[in-house]
Amino acid sequence: MEQTKQANVSLPLTFQQRIAATLAAALLGSFLVYGVGLANSATMHNVAHDGRHAFAFPCH
């Protein structure tokens, strides 16, 4: 058996790319925290319930 070696190559991000990634993560995180925190509890229940069915997880 012959084993092959893979080289891990990482590309350095520019400052602008780091700022863009940070802003995107902050916006997504804020949306999740405030969206879930301010949503109607019945809405969140229905989303979780439908998500369980989408992954074929029996819930009732």
Q: What is the pTM of this model?
A: 0.51
Contact between 59 and 53 (Cβ < 8 Å): yes
**Residues 39-54: pLDDT tens digits?**
788 887 888 888 888 8
pLDDT at 15 over 70: yes
pLDDT at 12 over 80: yes
- The answer for residues whose C-beta is within 8 angstroms of residue 53's C-beta and 6 or more apart is 59
Phi, psi of 24 (to 5 degrees): -65, -45
Q: What is the DSSP string of 15-27?
A: HHHHHHHHHHHHH
The pLDDT mean for the chain works out to 84
Summarize the confidence of residues 13-28 as an average pLDDT: 95
Distance CA 60, CA 37 (A): 26
Instruction: Look at 51 and 27; give whichever has higher pLDDT.
Output: 27
Domain range annotation of the chain:
15-54
